[in-house]
Amino acid sequence: MKQTEPQGWVFTGNEEEFKLLNPDRSSHLYFPLVNEGGMKSSVSPTQHGMATSGHDTFLTPPLSVEDLHNSRSSRNFWVHIEGQGAWSAAGNSAGQIAGFYQPDKDEVALEAGFLWHRVTRSSTRFAVKAEITNFVPCGNDKVELMKVVLTNKGNDSITVTPTAAVPLYARSADDLRDHRHVTSLLNRIYTTAYGVEVQPALSFDERGHRVNPTSYGVFGAAGDGSAPVGFFPVQEEFIGEGGSLDWPEAVVLNADPAPADRGAFREGYEALGGIRFATVSLLPEDSTVYIVVMAIHNQRMDVPALMAKYGSAAAFDRLFAENQIFWKAKVSTVEFHTGHPEADRWMKWVTLQPVLRRLYGNSFLPYHDYGRGGRGWRDLWQDCLALLIMEPAEVRSLLLNNYAGVRIDGSNATIIGAKPGEFIADRNNIPRVWMDHGAWPFLTTALYLNQSGDLDFLLEQQSYFRDSYRSRCRERDMDWNPEAGNELRTRTGAVYRGTILEHILLQNLVPFFNVGEHNNIRLEGADWNDGLDMAAERGESVTFTAFYASNLLEISGMLRTLRERTGQETVQLAEEITLLLDSTSEHLDYGSVKDKHERLDRFYAAAPNQVSGVRLALTIESVADDLKRKAEWIFGHLRRSEWVQGKDGSGWFNGYYNNDGEAVEGNFPEGVRMTLTGQVFPLMGPAAAPEQVPQIIAAVEKHLLDKRIGYRLNTNFGGIQQNLGRAFGFAFGHKENGAMFSHMTVMYGNALYKRGFVEEGHQVLNSIYCLSSDYSVSRMYPGIPEYINEQGRGMYPYLTGSASWLLLTMVTEVFGVKGILGDLLLAPKLVKEQFDADGTASIRTLFAERTLEVCYRSSGSRMYGEYRIGKVTLNGAELALQHSPEGVLIPRSQLEALAAGELHRLEVELV
């Protein structure tokens, strides 16, 4: 049956809240519910989804996106209507599913906001309406709450018997496939006055079973707090022989439960939070309210205390209001006002996304059916970009801690512990180096240094990570004793600490020498694109070579500023590093791959997972010169050797070499091969020469832009590219093979703004907004997805690094509010349609620990390039303008003199 095009969500009110009719007419929809205490839930319009506090502690069965429609497990809530039959307030009964395509299907509407989810479902068969609201209260408890309001919508009185039925999985995600049945035998199931609690006896792990302390529960109360009348703690008894969760015998036959007051103990079965509430009669338009509490705790729960806190409608409503205030406050640190209010509201959801990624990692939402909750190295650093905008106070220590993950060979630990700065040795024996990992930390650190002016950070000391791998995982150090810890030591056994600057230098210098046969940096295990993982021997990432070169140049400049600002002439560096700073003593021929390899081998031999501990004082001037020389060599090399000339004034950079040593991009007989990634990093820094920029833009528009799905990550290479990576095994137009991959598209937009191609940059960012918010094809709630697939569907919503990048780009490029070594630069790059009817565009953001409202008012042309800053007032007082080549600078001291905790207004007149 062909469905009519769905109506999209619409924002209600002036904030982030939205409403969507018939959400059940779209597949794969889900919404995150989470708190900072570790409860991670997701909920679909039919109450599917999951609730967990980690990989090993799932309250409900772990699921993947397909299970949203395949599984019969949900937070079901049944209503038995006397003399009429059974109905699921969540939409999960066999009858409702069977009647889905009939004209009398339930009417369903969804409303959602930060961070709550409400579905209203009206039966057209029975005269009953249900409104179900879910949220996870902020705070430290691992609890999800659900409130169900049933209303009699008919003209006659009805008698209803409600039953909540939430399967209690109560164990590790690993047990889904590994001994699902055997692990149910571990279940110890208790019923108390309010519900069902399961504390499995052991946590099952064939490497050693341990006594399990974690407890899981589903409890319920009527709105006034009164206890239920009984329970169905065992799933198979609830559904009955031959029954199922979508037509359970206990509900259909309205069977009596185990009485609540008796308290039962059962063991060895799949458990169910089956809660029977008292039968009530409802007059027309009368309502009755129920609260369901789903909880995870590190030991048996104090259920009366839990229910006193959560188990009544009054408590629910109070906590619901508190929760909204909490999330709104968190997200309102950054707010945009442009000529497009819908897009501004959409940005609120994007602003929330980096927080979600911090809380969920890359796991625990239905599409994110992998990982164990941790974050990767790359994400760790990029998520800090958004934190620098939203919660800058925390970032310094975070960055400092993160540097403890760097190895002496410039690579890094890949398993990140739960505590800040905790890195764990990989004992699974998967030696792999992602060659891009060394490039991100400086990018994030540079943003920090610019936002804060805290150049001393570069001179802070930090240890290095050490495990059994060395020479970028090419060798194994069999003498390594894990018990001796994961810190690099000197020859005498002391823990070695070097400056942050030294860590950064190693990350960027080692790759300079670690080149493939075309003198670009080797691809190793992969780069940003995790899917380019089959070219470890001969592959090269040209695009990240450009990124590293940009870093080298910027570090060089930063060092000179350090000297100017502090008067310091020298820096102390581990003596081994001088081998990599060759031009401080001699000049290597950078055109010689052989010489680079020899030099790298000498360095590896000098610092074999150990350093001498001797530090040398090198002049800042000589180090800065060396870095600049290297950067410029790379720029020249890339422009000369990696440029592909296209037709009609287009041209682009070859981004990669494959494992056969062949250039991946270019004009091939079968057609053009081109990647967006290949262009982004040369554009983001100076590698692309000014005359190359318009040619790249022309090539991207011609070969990668598809009006239906936006800027593709690559053209169709055809075939599975076994000499490049698994990404090409994915169907074309999906994920890392030719989809619109938001992360790279946003970075492309960012790079265009940086290069002054503002209209083009705007078009790129706007394309993502248009694609994502066009519900008829994207079928996603407001926010930016990881990618848009071949059908135009928004995939992997909520957890994506692209949100951090979009937020960063909006603040620092589009609104041009950014730090320059601690001072505030105002350099707006707004285009005409971003001004409202009055010619105003404004942003609220944090800078120098002050909340600023920066309001641009245009009195003349609103075309970018035609306006300039004419006058600036701060809280009404005109400032003397300090022009810089980019815009207007406001000294940090001027902002620091303002009262903290208040909103300060910067009015900027554009003339």
The CB-of-368 to ligand G1P minimum distance in angstroms stands at 9
The CB-of-432 to ligand G1P minimum distance in angstroms stands at 14
Confirm if 437 and 423 have CB atoms less than 8 A apart.
no
Which CB, 452 or 800, lies closer to ligand G1P?
800
CA distance 166 to 61: 10
The CB-of-29 to ligand G1P minimum distance in angstroms stands at 19
Which CB, 188 or 735, lies closer to ligand G1P?
735
**List 422, 530, 595, 621, residue binding ligand G1P (CB under 6 A):** 530
Running DSSP on this structure, what letter comes out for residue 461?
E
The residue of the chain with the least Cβ separation from ligand G1P equals 801
The CB-of-544 to ligand G1P minimum distance in angstroms stands at 12
Secondary structure of the chain: what % helix, strand, coil (to 5)?
30, 25, 40
**For residue 630, what is the enclosing H or E element?**
helix 620-641
CA of residue 396 relative to chain centroid, distance? 20
Confirm if 765 and 336 have CB atoms less than 8 A apart.
no
Tokens standing for residue 760: 């083009």
Contact segment (CB under 6 A) with ligand G1P among 222-230, 525-533, 584-592, 844-852 equals 525-533
The CB-of-326 to ligand G1P minimum distance in angstroms stands at 25
Q: What are phi and psi of 569, to 5 degrees?
A: -95, -25
Contacts of residue 257, Cβ cutoff 8 Å, sequence gap at least 6 = 229, 230, 231, 232, 250, 274, 276
Tokens standing for residue 555: 């570090």
CA distance 521 to 546: 9
Contacts of residue 292, Cβ cutoff 8 Å, sequence gap at least 6 = 75, 77, 145, 146, 147, 148, 164, 166, 218, 219, 220, 273, 275
Tokens standing for residue 713: 């990550």
Contact segment (CB under 6 A) with ligand G1P among 81-89, 253-261, 774-782, 797-805 equals 797-805
Which CB, 743 or 793, lies closer to ligand G1P?
743
Q: List C-alpha distances in Å: 620 to 32, 164, 405, 563, 713.
A: 49, 69, 25, 7, 40
CA distance 862 to 849: 31
Sign of CA dihedral 607, 608, 609, 612: negative
Strands (E), 535-673: 540-541, 570-574, 615-619, 643-645, 651-653, 656-657, 666-668, 671-673
Beta-strand pair 903-910/850-858 = parallel
Contact segment (CB under 6 A) with ligand G1P among 102-110, 602-610, 668-676, 799-807 equals 799-807
The CB-of-647 to ligand G1P minimum distance in angstroms stands at 30
Using CB under 6 A as the binding rule, the residues of this chain from 856 to 875 that contact ligand G1P are none
Q: List C-alpha distances in Å: 150 to 192, 222, 311, 501, 837.
A: 25, 11, 17, 62, 45
Tokens standing for residue 789: 């697939």
Confirm if 814 and 830 have CB atoms less than 8 A apart.
yes
The CB-of-856 to ligand G1P minimum distance in angstroms stands at 30
Binding mask 358-387 for ligand G1P (x = CB under 6 A): ----x-------------x-xx--------
Which CB, 385 or 577, lies closer to ligand G1P?
385
Which CB, 437 or 862, lies closer to ligand G1P?
437
Which CB, 274 or 376, lies closer to ligand G1P?
376
Q: Is 56 in the site for ligand G1P (CB under 6 A)?
A: no
CA distance 720 to 729: 5
The CB-of-282 to ligand G1P minimum distance in angstroms stands at 47
The CB-of-357 to ligand G1P minimum distance in angstroms stands at 8
Q: What are phi and psi of 146, to 5 degrees?
A: -140, 130
Contacts of residue 236, Cβ cutoff 8 Å, sequence gap at least 6 = 269, 270
**List 144, 524, 760, 786, residue binding ligand G1P (CB under 6 A):** 786
The CB-of-447 to ligand G1P minimum distance in angstroms stands at 18
Contact segment (CB under 6 A) with ligand G1P among 522-530, 599-607, 656-664, 715-723 equals 522-530
Looking at the DSSP bridge assignments, the partners of residue 216 are 198, 296
Running DSSP on this structure, what letter comes out for residue 38?
S
**List 190, 327, 423, 528, residue binding ligand G1P (CB under 6 A):** 528
The CB-of-801 to ligand G1P minimum distance in angstroms stands at 3
Which CB, 142 or 743, lies closer to ligand G1P?
743
Binding mask 741-770 for ligand G1P (x = CB under 6 A): --x---------------------------
The CB-of-113 to ligand G1P minimum distance in angstroms stands at 24
The CB-of-665 to ligand G1P minimum distance in angstroms stands at 18
CA distance 18 to 112: 6
The CB-of-529 to ligand G1P minimum distance in angstroms stands at 5
Binding mask 683-722 for ligand G1P (x = CB under 6 A): ----------------------------------------
DSSP assignment of 769-826: HHHHH-HHHH---SS-EEEE-TT--EEEES--HHHHHHHHHIIIIIS-EEEETTEEEE
Contact segment (CB under 6 A) with ligand G1P among 256-264, 523-531, 589-597, 843-851 equals 523-531
Which CB, 627 or 795, lies closer to ligand G1P?
795
The CB-of-532 to ligand G1P minimum distance in angstroms stands at 8
The CB-of-331 to ligand G1P minimum distance in angstroms stands at 19
Q: List C-alpha distances in Å: 613 to 249, 494, 547, 601.
A: 73, 8, 30, 19
Running DSSP on this structure, what letter comes out for residue 524?
B
Q: Is 217 in the site for ligand G1P (CB under 6 A)?
A: no
Alpha helices for 473-541 (secondary structure H): 500-513
Q: Count the residues of the shown chain that bind ligand G1P, applying the rule CB under 6 A.
A: 14
**List 71, 96, 452, 529, residue binding ligand G1P (CB under 6 A):** 529
CA distance 161 to 78: 8
Q: Is 801 in the site for ligand G1P (CB under 6 A)?
A: yes
Binding mask 716-745 for ligand G1P (x = CB under 6 A): --------------------x------x--
**List 541, 695, 745, 800, residue binding ligand G1P (CB under 6 A):** 800
Binding mask 426-445 for ligand G1P (x = CB under 6 A): --------------------
Contact segment (CB under 6 A) with ligand G1P among 128-136, 318-326, 524-532, 628-636 equals 524-532
CA distance 549 to 744: 19
Contact segment (CB under 6 A) with ligand G1P among 55-63, 216-224, 527-535, 581-589 equals 527-535
418: amino acid identity, one letter: A
537: amino acid identity, one letter: E
The CB-of-805 to ligand G1P minimum distance in angstroms stands at 9
Which CB, 148 or 380, lies closer to ligand G1P?
380
**List 802, 809, 834, 842, residue binding ligand G1P (CB under 6 A):** 802
Confirm if 667 and 715 have CB atoms less than 8 A apart.
no
CA distance 19 to 805: 27
Contact positions vs ligand G1P (CB under 6 A): 362, 376, 378-379, 528-531, 736, 743, 786, 800-802
